[in-house]
Structure 1
Amino acid sequence: MDQLTSYIAQPTLTEWLIYGGLLFFFLVQLLFYLVIYRRPYRYEKHRAEILVADDQLPGISVIITSKNEAEELKKNLPYILEQDYPNYEVIVVNNGSTDETDTVLKAAQQVYPHLYHTYVPPGADTVNEKKLALTLGVKAANHDILLFTEAYCKPCSTRWIHEYGKEFTKGRELVLGYSRLSLSPDVPMRRFIRFDNLIHHLGFLSMAIDGKAYTAIGRNMAYKKALFFEQKGFSPILHIDGGEFDLFINRVAQGKNTGVVLSRASMTETNVVDRFSTWRSLKSVYVYTKQFYRGSTARLFGWETLSMYAFYLLFLAVGIVSLVTGNLIALITCCLLFLCLSAIQLIVINKNSQLLDGKRYHLNLLLFDLSRPISNGLLRIYANRRNKR
């Protein structure tokens, strides 16, 4: 007992502050994983399946923009056009393509009468051509619900639209989904890329479940047409390069009745990332527009990053101080905190990954967790330089 008392009484004020900081940031990290990152898994596991008659399902317009993606359209359009849904149309906007896109669309229209295609006129604004193409698609839509994906994506099932239709029968104005990345073994850093995609989705889907949607991925999301016109389309963000999906949702989602679909049938998938540079181009678009997000929700994840680095730095500091001072209790305690947090991270991430992505993480989770904010910072520098050209 005397020896135990000496260990507890030994630390200086500075050491106590370090120990207290370690415990504080441990608790912050714990809250992020047990509350925020765990939420999508819990939501889907406790979701009650509902049956909706076909005549009660709303009409849906699927909108896709395409620029020089003839091969992707040829490969993926059949998955979208052959959905098991009673009332939908598919609108493809040819965004100034110079390849065989027009030929592919005309051939598909002969087989699928619910396919409609239009085009962006030559000489359109090159800075906002994606926004213009989407605006044309929205205006051409015959239904009040707009479901968005990309030409390089395909639904994971024939019930993709059906899952969104059921969610909108609950009175939703906005519904967000998950988009998987299918990566071949020869793609560099493929495990990190898949992890980054998973964590990004877990963050914004968790906040959407909590009624605080702040961003989205254009590969799998839907909203009511009225939201588009209430916001005057993309007018508030025309001066920003990109942001057609994530920034738009950031502006309109506050106070809206937002739903989330996480079943495997509701997901989309893409294998467009065939090299690291492709992922860098796709990812940098969202990293660039993130700096224009409004609201405190987006900044919440900045605090998560800060608390993560603070915890690991203080863990090292406590370990070094404990070894130097011979405080075994502090050393054992900080090691237990580290092991406890690592175990919780592995459990939460792997449960979500099993539900959404199908991959498992092990010791590489720590490396990926530490590397992701650095990667985002480098991508933001890359995106800012690219957009200044």
Structure 2
Amino acid sequence: MELTLVESCLLGGLAFCFIIQLWFTLGVHLKLALYKIEPIIPEGLRPISVIICARNEAANLQEYLPLVLEQKYPDYEVIVVNDRSWDATEDILKDLSVRYPHLKVVNVNDGQKFLAGKKFAVTMGIKAAKHEWLVFTDADCMPATENWLLGMQQPADEATEIVLGYSPYIRKRGLLNALIRFETFFTAVNYLSFALKGMPYMGVGRNMAYKKSLFFKSKGFAAHMHIPSGDDDLFVNANAHRRNTRIAIQPDAHVWSEPKTGFIAYLRQKKRHLGAGKFYKGKHKFILSAQIFFQFMFYVTLIAALFFQPLAVYIALGVLALSIIIRCLVYPRLLRKLNYAGLRWWFPLLDLLLFIFLVFNAIVSIFVKKVQWK
């Protein structure tokens, strides 16, 4: 039994897509799987300014802000930017300011000029910061421990200007929550692995840090102030490189976040993130697009091969089995390292569902253009 020309071309395409998949798995993501996590330095070396932007986050601030204000760090301030809230945010911040003298509140009013969503609020917070090292998180985020700031502090190496942290989502019941957590995991694996490879391209504002001087040296968000999203990833994309960027993924330095509970809300969130990705550097867009494209073509050629003679089917299924085995040797280990150990048993299914969602989200983004913060 011999393969026809069509079958040979189809299986050749499948093999090529498999090789590209292997490059991302073994050439990039394996670096994070093998990365040795250094212990957190037990003392604060330099003062820190923590910046949180909040719009109608009264409940979250009441629950999570005290955990930020009670960090075991000798010298730090917490700046909360109240961005035109109309709930009880202002009252809660006033009460907390009495209890915590290192809490500073910055109010953004409705009539203020040059409003540009969250980026304006972040800029106001940075201008109000009195320290050089800035640590960012969100109002709905919870530090894993009281040692969070110890893990996110400025490294002794003065050349380090950016530290990329990690922020997993809190576990809740349901398939949507599992998908959200798995998508967050895969996004983190990508940006952390590429940072280790010397090609940092993004970070998440729920847990990251950089120098105040870097922000002003690069003119802040001026290059993309017109884009509603990107206060975190676009800034990192424009300013991070192999010499000035480090990662911090110690379990104590994680920041847990509240996930979306509805599919539409989650879709809107991912739409904002996808919109910012269009403004990444060309080499980053090429690599990330190739990652999705060849994963898509892997499944397309695999499914197509199943409609041909048995030999083609056996070869295609053999490639699929080899792909699953290799990936199952790498990603469950990463799931344990990044606080998602419970998802490792569902890895093959979630991997397929995530791919379907990413394709769906990309199609939706073509037709739905409007995005906003809050």
1:91-139 per-position Cα deviation (integer Å, ceiling 9, x unaligned): 0111111111111111111111111111113312575042221111111
Using the alignment, how far apart are the partners of 1:364 and 1:272 within structure 2?
A: 20
Using the alignment, how far apart are the partners of 2:368 and 2:180 within structure 1?
A: 17
**Alignment partner, residue 354 of structure 1:** 336
**Structure 1 residue 233 displacement after superposition:** 1.7
Q: Pick from 352, 359, 368: which aligns with 2:353?
A: 368
1:336-377 per-position Cα deviation (integer Å, ceiling 9, x unaligned): 211010122233222111111323224413432431321331
Pick closer, same or farther for the CA change 1:308–1:206 going to 2, 3 Å. Answer: same
Alignment check: 8 A CA contact 2:207 2:255 kept: yes
Secondary structure of the residue that 1:154 maps to in structure 2?
strand
Secondary structure of the residue that 1:102 maps to in structure 2?
helix
Q: Pick from 343, 349, 352: which aligns with 2:325?
A: 343
Using the alignment, how far apart are the partners of 1:30 and 1:40 within structure 2?
A: 15
**Alignment map for 1:100-179 (pairs within 5 Å):** 100-125=88-113, 128-165=116-153, 168-171=155-158, 172-179=160-167
Give the counterpart letter for 2:225 in structure 1: L
Unaligned runs of 5+ in 2: none
**Structure 1 residue 41 displacement after superposition:** 2.3
**Alignment partner, residue 62 of structure 2:** 74
- Length-normalised TM-score, structure 2: 0.91
**Alignment partner, residue 28 of structure 1:** 20
Q: Pick from 213, 218, 224: which aligns with 2:205?
A: 218
Q: CA RMSD in A?
A: 2.1
Give the counterpart letter for 2:87 in structure 1: D
**Alignment partner, residue 281 of structure 1:** 268
**Structure 1 residue 249 displacement after superposition:** 1.4
Alignment check: 8 A CA contact 2:69 2:78 kept: yes
**Alignment partner, residue 292 of structure 2:** 305
Using the alignment, how far apart are the partners of 2:259 and 2:19 within structure 1?
A: 39
1:12-69 per-position Cα deviation (integer Å, ceiling 9, x unaligned): 33333223222221111112112222322221xx234364654xx1211000011111
Give the counterpart letter for 1:128 in structure 2: A
Determine which structure has more spread, i.e. the larger CA radius of gyration: 1
Alignment check: 8 A CA contact 2:114 2:120 kept: no
Unaligned runs of 5+ in 1: 1-6
Pick closer, same or farther for the CA change 1:48–1:246 going to 2, 3 Å. Answer: closer
**Alignment partner, residue 221 of structure 2:** 234
Identity of aligned pairs, percent? Answer: 33
Give the counterpart letter for 2:173 in structure 1: P
Using the alignment, how far apart are the partners of 1:237 and 1:90 within structure 2?
A: 26
1:83 paired to 2:68: no
Using the alignment, how far apart are the partners of 1:18 and 1:160 within structure 2?
A: 50
